[in-house]
Structure 1
Amino acid sequence: MPTALIAEDEELLAAHLRQELTTLWPALQISAMASHGQEAVDLALKHQPDICFFDIRMPGLTGLEAAAVLADEWPQNKPFPLLVFVTAYDQYALQAFERAAVDYVLKPVQRERLSQTVGRLQTALSQRQPAPQALDAALAQLRGLLASAGGADRATALANEPSGAVGANAGSATSASGPLLRHLQVGVGDSIVMLPVDQIVYLEAADKYVRVLTAEQEYLVRISLRELLPQLDTARFWQVHRGHIVQVDAIDRVVRDESGRLTLKFRQRPEKLAVSRMYAHLFKAL
């Protein structure tokens, strides 16, 4: 029997989706229910369902972030679950889902629309790819969605940024969404350090802050990694993990272990950073 996980933080909506799925697809077994993103990842790894219904907006990890974490931790010998995102109406999000060929259903869930999704899932399960190919296909879809989400986050960050709050943009490079940061304005005691982004080795998510590490110093900036990333030059700053962004020029080498996992070593820092599956495609030897 096919199995599914439902991740939805609103209890009534989760119960409604479960009931509708039971009516439309009696053979489908709901193996787990999660109320937030990290619980969704944990239960999916435990039960290894065939399908995951992820609410796109959940406490902690969003549905998209939970799917990315799940892809990084999923056993390579198991076919990756088919993904369906549950979302409120948002034209930008719907266009992103359609471009990435990822199925979605709108809140409140309508039986007719959910019936179409069920039909697609049944067909996809009957034509399921072997485990490695299924994971590769899911990673490609999620990369496309993350890229689209990054564009939206960049526009939001620029629109909400107070003048001079994050960095000095005058004369900086630009993208389609606006100027890119040249400096971070970092509060240190009663001073503000104007830190050139060229000096950054890597950035690390730290609760409501970002740790900014240079060759010799460490700073804390009160901003999330999600908000900061869209303001950086993505040709120079690469996200290599959900919690890490690195400056490419600061990397000395990339080491691959026996399982195929990648680890970064820096020229001027002793730390080593793991590269998640989501971003491993960035590093290819010529």
Structure 2
Amino acid sequence: MPTALIADDEPLLAAALQSALARLWPQLAVIAVAHDGAIALAEINRLRPDFAFLDIRMPGLDGMAVARSVAGCRVVFVTAYDEYALQAFDAAAMDYLLKPIDDPRLLRCISRLQQLASTVAMPAPAPAEAQPEYLNWITAGLGNSKRLIAASEVLYFKACDKYTELVLATETQLIRTPLKELAARLNPREFAQIHRGLLVRLSAVQSIEQDMLGRNFVLLKDREDKLPLSRSYAAQFKSM
């Protein structure tokens, strides 16, 4: 069964679209409804829906930014503004629906998505040179206090008990994703493990320092933190 997410900062419009989809495409399961871009992106990454119906103008993160930050999810933009159409298709959108949406127009969109769903359901050989998709955005914070942080803003990640600490230039945030999982999802050209419990962004490194006991430490450009560099990870920094 195909799945979808709806993102619109106007709850009534999101509910109206969900109702119309239920009438016109009852086989589609709407598994989440979000009312801002950051939550939409987090839910897409968590639930992996087949399709996302995204409003463009949303607080926090607009629909364009959400579309460019996800992979494996086909996007339909649903908006009251027609000036974003060119950008939408540059972002590989499947369709561009203008509000208010009438049934005939939505049916044409559904027909296109159904054709795609039947195509992607058939197994296809993987490309010989498939490129890995790395993590670019991280939803940080606990409880109701959440925010979206670009991976490029993080100076280093530190394992701490049941959480992982994200250390930025002027603050820290917590996430539940284990450090080992983060290490596998971050671009190895941008991040490197320097200790069993530490991952550092390479462009944030200022220098490597060795103390009188022969222990190595990583010094950062934007913070005074002195991070231990384990011998098993030191080889990658020999040229610094």
- Structure 1 position 96 matched with structure 2 position 96: no
Aligned residue in 2 for 1:81 = 73
Aligned residue in 2 for 1:115 = 107
> Offset of 1:52 from its aligned partner?
0.8
> Offset of 1:115 from its aligned partner?
1.0
| Conservation of the 8 A alpha-carbon contact between 1:13 and 1:108 | no
- Structure 1 position 13 matched with structure 2 position 13: yes
Aligned residue-pair number: 147
CA distance in structure 1 between the partners assigned to 2:85 and 2:151 by the alignment: 23
Structure 2: runs of 5 or more not aligned: 134-149, 154-182, 191-201, 208-219, 223-240
Deviations 1:159-200 (A, max 9, x none): xxxxxxxxxxxxxxxxxxxxxxxxxxxxxxxxxxxxxxxxxx
TM-score (norm: length of structure 1): 0.44
CA distance in structure 2 between the partners assigned to 1:46 and 1:131 by the alignment: 25
Listed as ranges, the matches of 1:125-144 within 5 Å are 125-128=117-120
> Offset of 1:44 from its aligned partner?
1.8
Q: Cα 1:260–1:119, aligned 2, differ >3 Å: closer, same or farther?
A: same
> Helix, strand or coil: the match of 1:265?
helix
Deviations 1:31-79 (A, max 9, x none): 11111111112222232211111111111011121233334xxxxxxxx
Q: Cα 1:10–1:130, aligned 2, differ >3 Å: closer, same or farther?
A: farther
CA distance in structure 2 between the partners assigned to 1:41 and 1:116 by the alignment: 26
> Offset of 1:97 from its aligned partner?
2.6
| Conservation of the 8 A alpha-carbon contact between 2:6 and 2:52 | yes
CA distance in structure 2 between the partners assigned to 1:131 and 1:84 by the alignment: 26
| Conservation of the 8 A alpha-carbon contact between 2:206 and 2:221 | no
Taking only the aligned residue pairs, the percentage that are identical comes to 39
Q: Cα 1:259–1:39, aligned 2, differ >3 Å: closer, same or farther?
A: closer
| Conservation of the 8 A alpha-carbon contact between 1:56 and 1:62 | yes
TM-score (norm: length of structure 2): 0.52
Aligned residue in 2 for 1:106 = 98
- Whose Rg is larger? 2
- Structure 1 position 31 matched with structure 2 position 31: yes
> Helix, strand or coil: the match of 1:127?
helix
Deviations 1:7-42 (A, max 9, x none): 111011101101111111010011111111111122
| Conservation of the 8 A alpha-carbon contact between 2:63 and 2:77 | yes
Aligned residue in 2 for 1:66 = 66
Larger CA deviation: 100-109 vs 47-56:
100-109
CA distance in structure 1 between the partners assigned to 2:125 and 2:56 by the alignment: 25
| Conservation of the 8 A alpha-carbon contact between 1:3 and 1:28 | yes
Q: Cα 1:271–1:121, aligned 2, differ >3 Å: closer, same or farther?
A: farther
CA distance in structure 2 between the partners assigned to 1:9 and 1:131 by the alignment: 39
Aligned residue in 2 for 1:265 = 203
> Offset of 1:90 from its aligned partner?
2.4
| Conservation of the 8 A alpha-carbon contact between 2:25 and 2:110 | yes
Deviations 1:95-152 (A, max 9, x none): 233455522211112211111111111111122286977xx89x9xxxxxxxxxxxxx
> Helix, strand or coil: the match of 1:6?
strand
> Helix, strand or coil: the match of 2:16?
helix
CA distance in structure 2 between the partners assigned to 1:271 and 1:125 by the alignment: 48
- Cα RMSD after superposing both structures: 3.2
> Helix, strand or coil: the match of 1:9?
coil
| Conservation of the 8 A alpha-carbon contact between 2:6 and 2:33 | yes
> Offset of 1:82 from its aligned partner?
1.0
CA distance in structure 2 between the partners assigned to 1:19 and 1:10 by the alignment: 14
| Conservation of the 8 A alpha-carbon contact between 2:5 and 2:30 | yes
> Helix, strand or coil: the match of 2:69?
helix
Q: Cα 1:124–1:271, aligned 2, differ >3 Å: closer, same or farther?
A: farther
| Conservation of the 8 A alpha-carbon contact between 2:48 and 2:73 | yes
Which letter maps to 2:18?
R
| Conservation of the 8 A alpha-carbon contact between 1:87 and 1:105 | yes
